[in-house]
Amino acid sequence: MTSGQSKGTLALTGLVLIAMFVAIWMVFQYVPNERVMGPVQRIFYFHVPAAMITFLSVFLLMASSITYLWTRNKRWDRISLASTEIGLMFCTLVLITGPIWAKAAWGVWWTWEARLTTTLILWLLLAGCLMVRGYAQNQDLGARLASVLGIIAALDVVIVYKAVHWWRGQHPIVFKSGEKNPLAPEMYTTFMYCIGVFMALFLLMMILRVAVLSLEERTQALAERRTGELS
């Protein structure tokens, strides 16, 4: 990372930090209470964007995995690893915020409903990708196996969703295509704003994680050269 780039990253970090505080203010002060669900509905402004980022990560995971296997350029593997980790983190957030809301709204922490089940399975799939990387004897093998698993995971999620949807469904769908948006204007603004903030956060984490990974690789290469010179 050059100094110009790190200045840019630093600026983005500051921006995301401020934007996140504004998001928290909007969620707790600006938006009105939802009529039926009450204050607990405010968790949506974090829950839904987190879910969106999770699926964005999975999409990126698939794209970078395919490109890595195609080109064998390590840069794509770094993106693939970063999106697995970030995806897993946001997926965990979704799985934590979801039950908090569900307990208040549905009266249970967990129910085997379509989206919940899909998210849980996705979590397991992403964890599997990381596990295989950890077990692999060397980095190249780990990268290759994780790419194959990443492709499988991304494709599988679509089928899982379809299957679980037929199996069971009770998740609220706030936005249905073709219908007039049912949210109050403040809610809509906050919602869109939170999506934007989460996107920026995702971008920032992605940049930082990829930079750290490439630094790690460089230090490792340097260390190997050093051992080579000494022996």
Partner 1 sequence: MTGAGFFRAAGVLAAKDLSIEWRTREGLSAMVLFSLIVLVVFSFAFDLATIKQLGPARLVPGILWTTLAFAGVVGFTRSFQVEARRDSMTALLLAPVDRGALFAGKSLSNLVQLLLLEVVVVPLSAIFFGYDLFAILWPMSVVVFLHTFGLAEMGTLLGAVAAKVGRGEALLSTLLFPVTMPLFISAVKCTNAVLDGKELSSVSNWLLIAVGFDLLFLFVGLLTFEYVVEE
Closest CA to 150 of 64, 88, 50, 92: 64
Residue numbers of the site for partner 1 (CB under 8 A)? 69, 121, 124-125, 127-128, 131-132, 135-137, 141, 144-145, 147-149, 151-153, 155-156, 159-160, 162-164, 166-167
The distance of closest approach from Cβ of residue 18 to partner 1 in the complex, given in angstroms and rounded to an integer, is 39
Question: Based on CB atoms, which residue is closest to partner 1, 131 or 215?
Answer: 131
Question: Based on CB atoms, which residue is closest to partner 1, 159 or 203?
Answer: 159
Question: Based on CB atoms, which residue is closest to partner 1, 52 or 69?
Answer: 69
* Rounded Cα distance, 52 and 41, in Å: 17
The distance of closest approach from Cβ of residue 66 to partner 1 in the complex, given in angstroms and rounded to an integer, is 10
Alpha-carbon distances, residue 51 vs 4, 43, 55, 59, 144 (angstroms)? 32, 12, 6, 13, 27
The distance of closest approach from Cβ of residue 128 to partner 1 in the complex, given in angstroms and rounded to an integer, is 5
Question: Based on CB atoms, which residue is closest to partner 1, 136 or 208?
Answer: 136
Closest CA to 204 of 59, 20, 2: 20
Closest CA to 87 of 124, 43, 140: 124
The distance of closest approach from Cβ of residue 139 to partner 1 in the complex, given in angstroms and rounded to an integer, is 13
* Rounded Cα distance, 142 and 133, in Å: 4
Give the phi and the psi of residue 187 in degrees, each rounded to 5. -65, -45
Q: Are 192 and 19 in contact (CB under 8 A)?
A: no
* Rounded Cα distance, 128 and 135, in Å: 11
Question: Based on CB atoms, which residue is closest to partner 1, 153 or 194?
Answer: 153
The distance of closest approach from Cβ of residue 156 to partner 1 in the complex, given in angstroms and rounded to an integer, is 5
The distance of closest approach from Cβ of residue 165 to partner 1 in the complex, given in angstroms and rounded to an integer, is 10
By the 10 Å C-beta count (0-12 exposed, 13-18 middle, 19+ buried), 222 is classed as exposed
The distance of closest approach from Cβ of residue 149 to partner 1 in the complex, given in angstroms and rounded to an integer, is 7
Angle of helix 44-71 versus helix 139-167 axis, rounded to 10: 130
Give the phi and the psi of residue 3 in degrees, each rounded to 5. -70, -30
Question: Based on CB atoms, which residue is closest to partner 1, 53 or 164?
Answer: 164
Question: Based on CB atoms, which residue is closest to partner 1, 58 or 153?
Answer: 153
